[in-house]
């Protein structure tokens, strides 16, 4: 279920992974606070098995601290995603969940979003 108190936008730099090689992209996650409250925000990232949040091992789930976001404001964080020799050409689904914590550290709101990352084979 998506909660509109927080909204998530995501984009990739560069826009794709290259299949069958070690390379990386950054996903830029922007969390928009659509309330009058201040939140500490974190974001869960869940990847398919073929890509990783770690350069040298398989890591398909992780949480990143994004930061403090004020009323009607946004905060942005870049997170690296790594391709490996086993990363095959596909359109990978990445699941994002943003959490808004109050001053006591309790989750007050959350939002979910799925985005697609293209992985392509380069022709030589």
Q: Which fold, 6-120?
A: Immunoglobulin-like (2.60.40)
User: How many CB atoms lie under 10 A from the CB of residue 67?
Assistant: 13
10-residue mean pLDDT profile of the chain (124 residues): values are 78 96 97 96 97 96 97 97 95 98 95 97 80
Q: Which tokens in the block code for residue 65?
A: 């601290």
Closest CA relative to residue 75, chosen from 116, 108, 25, 32:
32
pLDDT for position 124 = 64
Whole-model pTM above 0.75?
yes
pLDDT for position 4 = 76
Indicate the domain borders of the chain: 6-120
pLDDT for position 1 = 38
Label residue 122 exposed, middle or buried (CB < 10 Å: 0-12, 13-18, 19+). exposed
């Amino acid at each position: 279920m998506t909660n509109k108190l927080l909204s998530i936008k995501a984009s990739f730099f560069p826009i794709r992974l290259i299949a069958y090689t070690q390379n990386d992209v950054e996903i830029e996650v922007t969390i928009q606070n659509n309330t009058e409250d201040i939140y500490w925000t974190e974001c869960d990232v869940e990847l398919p098995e073929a890509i990783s949040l770690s350069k040298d091992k398989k890591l398909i789930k992780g949480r990143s601290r994004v930061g403090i976001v004020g009323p009607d404001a946004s905060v942005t964080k870049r997170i690296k995603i790594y391709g490996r020799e086993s990363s095959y050409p596909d359109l990978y689904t990445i699941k994002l969940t943003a959490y808004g914590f109050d001053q006591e550290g309790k989750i007050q709101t959350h939002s979910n979003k799925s985005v697609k990352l293209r992985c392509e084979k380069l022709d030589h």
